[in-house]
Amino acid sequence: MKKGQVSGMNGFWENELVVHAAIYSVAILCTIVFLAVFEAVTKYNDWEEIQKGNLSVAMATGGKIFGIANIFRHSIMHNDSLIVMVGWGTFGFLLLLGGYFLFEFLTPKFNIDEEIEKDNRAVGFLAMVISIGLSYVIGAGISY
């Protein structure tokens, strides 16, 4: 073997395409898991409501997807390994989930989930913007 050559799996994991595919796959898997957690804590079925044309649920869910992706963007850019990337992404998701509960707590005059399920677009839009906005703050913290 020549100097500088890497044998076996070590060379495989140093290939940029393999690393990129691994990061992408892990981020997609985490997004699916995190969306399932969001689905479990809401009082409505996201995908059934979206199928019915509930724009408020679509906006709130889209904000969650964007928020998770933005958090992982920062986690990918500022970490060297998949494990550390997933750790920071999970931490960021937990902060985003906490923001969701905080939003519900800070609006005692009405129930966020019920309003979104009733297709209150103002509430759906606000939920989307909160998820997106918090993801920028969380991402900045990960990047710090």
Q: Report the C-alpha gap between 20 and 77 in whole angstroms.
A: 12
pLDDT at position 14, please? 79
Q: How far is the CA of 40 from the CAs of 17, 46, 105, in angstroms?
A: 35, 10, 18
| Count of Cβ atoms closer than 10 Å to residue 30 Cβ | 19
pLDDT at position 1, please? 43
User: CB within 8 A of 95, min separation 6: which ones?
Assistant: 134, 138
Residue 80 gets which letter from DSSP?
A: S
Is residue 107 included in any domain, yes or no? yes
Give the chain's domain count: 1
Is residue 26 included in any domain, yes or no? yes
Q: What is the pTM of this model?
A: 0.87
Is residue 125 included in any domain, yes or no? yes
Is residue 2 included in any domain, yes or no? no
pLDDT at position 69, please? 97
Alpha helices in 42-120 (DSSP H): 46-51, 55-77, 82-105, 112-117
pLDDT at position 12, please? 72
| Average pLDDT, 10 consecutive residues per value, the chain (144 residues) | 52 83 95 97 95 98 98 92 95 97 92 96 97 98 92
Place of tokens 């850019």: 77
128 φ, ψ (degrees, to nearest 5): -65, -50
| Count of Cβ atoms closer than 10 Å to residue 67 Cβ | 29
Is residue 1 included in any domain, yes or no? no
Q: Which of 12, 45, 26, 33 is nearest to 116 (CA)?
A: 45
Q: Report the C-alpha gap between 14 and 137 in whole angstroms.
A: 32
Structural domain range at position 61: 8-143
Place of tokens 């103002």: 122
